[in-house]
Structure 1
């Protein structure tokens, strides 16, 4: 075993056991089993049995019986029967010793009773005198007692406890309610086995499906730094399981990071479809029109970085591995708090009846906009793809398409200077938004994104509105030419 702080193996390390953090102990240590109970497992049957034997050899039968009884709390165990036999042996030995003393010194035993009676009489006399003083005074009895007793109001009560820390692995998409329920249930189960122990359960997000839902003894305190929640339960002092989320931003940044990841993945999918393979570098998605698959690489919300790494380090930003098997593994957050996000393509859902546009990824809605549609039901229904992403698109007439447009072929989603057309059917078939709304929408719709135009709203399964979309926009954006000169678009308008 080589410790983290040393470069070379020491021959003594082969006999050491790593308990926690920087604590190593040897089985040859006279206090080995005491340290196992203190730092590793407060309920270890072996440790309690060995300590019980030690006290028994020293003649401290009270402490020996205590540790043997601790062994009996864990059933079954290899030491259960041995501890039972040891307790019976000590009790039989003590009874035999008392009998021998009585037989050896019968007169001494008889002389003990008068001495006991004398002590009892003295105590009763003192109590009687105290009662006379109390009742003879001018104050009522309860006031007299109150003035004599120091109540200690506001003083702290300290209990000597042993902490038992555990780790519970949680899937990133788990709701806070489900996390609380799982921690509460697990704390109660552990307390049945360790009723006198302070149970601590740290909830840590995990990408490993095999470990999700499992609870294990904490052996590496570094894991607690990535915990998003902790549960504490000490049944001897508090009958409540206290649960505290450590990262107040968890609920806030998780949806944003998921949306940012899927924004890039959607653009990557379109690039692969157009070019046959993923780009070597993500900068290939950031080109001038018509290859402007994206306008920027979004910030990863948990860390506020859009730096890109070739491998996972947990230091923020994103991980991009073009040789990965699928898009979810190809691009993901370089952060422990938001790992394991499934790929849900970013797309637009349009409800003609409600004149409503939603920008959606999985269960998350980033934008919800009111729109204008074609007169006489000219806006077609169906599934389309974003072919052109254009700033200041030029048409056959000046200002035909507002400040920005997302071309779908014969029609487009574009801005308008006629805001009275929003919410009504006035266009020749295109979907209109205010210039402010189309500019908000534009950077979050990648090239290749699907646009679903339906007569009525699609069934929504617990969709959640994502807030603070501006947290995904980097302060320094790439200088792209998304306003092609000399290109005239002939959308229906």
Structure 2
């Protein structure tokens, strides 16, 4: 290392570490770790642990404990377990020393003081018996109790713990489950999982699922992304815990979290398309709901927790939505105006058309929003690839009357559109377009935003274990804006 002010290299420079500005120090300096904390990183677990070791050797217990506890504030770190073990050993040493002093003092007092009066002795014996009875009642009681902490941070302190093996699990519940039922199931399952291996630290993540095949199942956590969807956690280690610690996450969102996420991601998908087209986000969300061809959406969805679709400029937990076009990332640009709403990740809407199965799936993340049987082009004329919704039209006009059914989602030369020929669904009869029944295309049109991606090909990109969503109609407001979505005198030349 050659500093700016020197012309030649000094042989000691290789053993120096730059801590702060012009401060260089050797690791062999007796005050090395004090200077690391003072000038480089006040929370350095390595420095605090080594200082604790030094003070422990010198017999300064108070300073040693202080630095060990500072090292415990950084988790995870290579020094966490060692600092934890050192605190435990020092507490054990203090307890042993206190017991020895008390024993020595009792012997000395016995030599110096006369025996207690009989009445005092009887009183002490009575108190001792009562304490023994109370201790017996306390320990005979079930060692497992519930602790429910709703929207509160768990206490963080210098509680002595032992090294354990964390075993994370996921447990599925139906969306309509009651809070009391969820608590009881988590408590029972946490205790059951530790019976075979009491050394493990069980962490259960509770997820809501509309799929009856998942409900009630407990599985090892293999995908950490699922943790983001958890509505409750339960933790239990029988070696150090007397309670199953249950913590509800975003309790206001327990009932409606999936629908809130879907409503948010519907608008976010439209905002992403708007930004792609104009290179800027709109000044207001209402700009997405305009006459054709600016009908990115047909309406602003209702936020299910509050039954409101009012747009707010900042979060105040009063319901509706928050829109900040200058925030960083779509998950913070638009989100539910409820506690924890900005934590919902952005999962864009898209459609997957499986030509082989003659099936269409409408998806957001791992949620299946809608699926329908489809008809395709004769002689494999339906092209494959990634397309984007360019037109959203109610009753689109073609070269022949009613050729495109009740609604159409234009993808360029082809479209997803309705048909009056219901027997063509499941067959290859069209000129290249994807046909749906008028009922299905109406359901899709309601929630498909302009600019959304449509993949035509196979089901290879589908997420496994999609969770069906059956109550999306709750997102539709009672009063919808009166916008023109049927352009007059415009003929669409989709292949049909």
Q: TM-score range by the shorter chain?
A: 0.5 to 0.7
CA distance 1:184–1:402, change in 2 (3 Å): same
Contact 2:352/2:462, CA 8 A, preserved across alignment: no
Over the aligned positions, Cα root-mean-square deviation in angstroms equals 4.8
Aligned-partner Cα distance in 1 for 2:108–2:458: 94
CA–CA separation in structure 2 for the residues paired with 1:453 and 1:234:
49
Counterparts of 1:383 and 1:231 in 2: how far apart (Å)?
Answer: 42
How far 1:297 moved relative to its partner? 1.3
Instruction: Name the count of aligned residue pairs.
Output: 340
C-alpha deviation, 1:411, in angstroms: 1.3
Deviation string for 1:157-178 (max 9, x for gaps)?
Answer: 899x998977359xxxx98539
1:91 aligns with 2:77: no
> Within the alignment, does 1:267 sit opposite 2:270 as a pair?
yes
CA change 1:333–1:235 in 2 (3 A) is same
Report the equivalent of 2:494: 491
CA distance in structure 2 between the aligned counterparts of 1:229 and 1:164, rounded to whole angstroms:
10
Q: How far apart, CA to CA, are the structure 1 residues paired with 2:259 and 2:334?
A: 15
Q: Give the equivalent residue in structure 2 for 1:138.
A: none
CA pair 357-74 structure 1, distance change in 2 beyond 3 A: same
- Given the alignment of the two structures, is residue 306 of structure 1 paired with residue 319 of structure 2, yes or no? no
| 178 and 396 in structure 1: CA distance in 2 versus 1, 3 angstrom threshold | closer
| Contact kept? 1:411, 1:429, Cα under 8 Å | yes
What does the per-residue CA deviation read over 1:99-128, in whole Å, with 9 as the maximum and x for residues that have no partner? 445xx68xx99xx9xxx9xxxxxxxxxxxx
Partners in 2 of 1:384 and 1:425 — Cα distance?
A: 20
Q: Does the C-alpha gap of structure 1 residues 175 and 473 become closer, same or farther in structure 2, counting only changes over 3 Å?
A: farther
Unaligned stretches of 5+ residues in structure 1: 1-44, 47-72, 117-156, 193-200, 204-211, 214-226
In the alignment, which residue of structure 2 is the partner of 1:177? 171
- Name 2:65's counterpart in structure 1: none
The Cα offsets for residues 268-320 of structure 1, whole Å up to 9 and x where unpaired, read as: 12212222311110110010111100011112334433222212223322221
Structure 2: runs of 5+ lacking an equivalent: 1-60, 63-85, 123-140, 156-167, 174-185, 199-203, 207-223
Task: Go from structure 1 to structure 2 and tell me whether the alpha carbon gap of 1:389 and 1:158 turns closer, same or farther (over 3 Å shift).
Answer: closer
Q: Separation in 2 of the partners of 1:168 and 1:361?
A: 33
Taking a change above 3 Å as real, the CA distance of residues 346 and 233 of structure 1, as seen in their structure-2 partners, is closer
Change in Cα spacing, 1:74 to 1:458, as seen in structure 2 (3 Å) is closer
Q: Deviations over 1:360-401 (max 9, x none)?
A: 122222011111111222211122111110111112221111
Residue deviations 1:453-491 (CA, integer Å, cap 9, x gap): 115554534432223111221222111111122112121
Q: Residue 88 of structure 2 aligns to a residue in which SS? A: coil
SS in 1 for 2:107: helix
Is the CA contact (8 Å cut-off) linking 1:371 and 1:422 kept in structure 2? yes
Alpha-carbon distance in structure 1 between the residues aligned to 2:345 and 2:387: 23
Distance 1:390 1:297 in 2: 18
Aligned equivalents of 1:489, 1:444: Cα separation in 2: 22
Contact 1:383–1:453 under 8 Å retained in 2:
yes
* Aligned partners of 2:259 and 2:475 also within 8 Å: yes
Alignment of 1:419-430 (within 5 A): 419-430=422-433
How far, CA to CA, are the matches of 1:175 and 1:254 in structure 2?
21
- 1:402 alignment partner, one of 386, 400, 405: 405
Pick closer, same or farther for the CA change 1:394–1:362 going to 2, 3 Å. Answer: same
Q: Determine which structure has more spread, i.e. the larger CA radius of gyration.
A: 1
Distance, in Å, in 2 between the alignment partners of 1:269 and 1:437 is 25
Aligned to 1:386: 389
Secondary structure class of the residue paired with 1:390 = strand
- Structure 1 segment 274-293 matched on structure 2, within 5 A: 274-293=277-296
Give the deviation of 1:96 after TM superposition: 2.8
Answer yes or no: is 1:436 the counterpart of 2:449: no
Query: Quick check: 2:190–2:235 contact (8 Å CA) kept in 1?
Result: no
Aligned partners of 1:441 and 1:241: how far apart in 2?
45
Q: Cα gap change, 1:339/1:462 in structure 2, threshold over 3 Å: closer, same or farther?
A: farther
CA contact (8 A) 2:395 2:407 kept: yes
Instruction: Assess if the C-alpha contact under 8 Å between 1:168 and 1:202 holds in 2.
Output: no
Assess if the C-alpha contact under 8 Å between 2:148 and 2:247 holds in 1.
Answer: no
Q: Which residue of 2 aligns with 1:222?
A: none
Q: How does 1:340-489 map to 2 (within 5 A)?
A: 340-455=343-458, 457-489=460-492
* 2:233 and 2:248 in contact (8 A); partners too: yes
Q: Cα distance 1:158–1:490, how it changes in 2: closer, same or farther (>3 A)?
A: closer
455-464 or 321-330, which deviates more? 455-464
